[in-house]
Amino acid sequence: MSNNDPRPAATCNGGPILGRREVLGGATALMGLALAGNAYAAHHEKADHAMQHTMHGVDSKLRDSALECVTTGDDCIAHCLSEFRSGNTELAECAMRVQELVIACRALAQLTAHRSQHLVAFATATAAVCESCEEECLKHVEHHEVCRACADACKACIKECKRIAA
């Protein structure tokens, strides 16, 4: 029905009853959206698959080592906080270096995934952050196993950062 139609609109439960044309038009539009959505998903699935293949090799090793630093660093910070709660503040400097490590390595992993043009420069800077963290963590490995894990992750990440920077 058009808006100029003098006949009253048929209603059901207070709302208008749709005619066959409106129903078919709506169904056609929904089908078009569904097909477009499927095409979009297929395109992005191919792009994701291609990205997975390009993440293999040097870049994936760098990203994985950075993410390992984030994981072990988070564990180390949690341990430091537990020590602080018990009154032991000997790990304060360690906590500071590890916090820097987590920040830098999280950013490095993201820049690696995005294929940043600044990756080499950032990897060089991150290697310096990792070296500071490793040095501080090594002071505590006798009494804190979590510091050993963090230092080992730092060492691996330093190696990958230097390989990228070379």
Residue found under tokens 């291609």:
50
Determine the pLDDT at residue 47.
44
Query: What's the CA gap between 107 and 66, in Å, rounded?
Result: 9
Determine the pLDDT at residue 4.
63
CATH of segment(s) 56-165: 1.20.1270.360
The rounded percent of the chain whose pLDDT value lies above 90 is 62
pLDDT at 71 over 70: yes
pLDDT at 28 over 90: no
Nearest to 97 by CA among 60, 51, 134, 126: 134
> Looking at residues 44-49, what average pLDDT do you find?
48
pLDDT at 14 over 80: no
Q: Give, as one character, the DSSP assignment of residue 88.
A: -
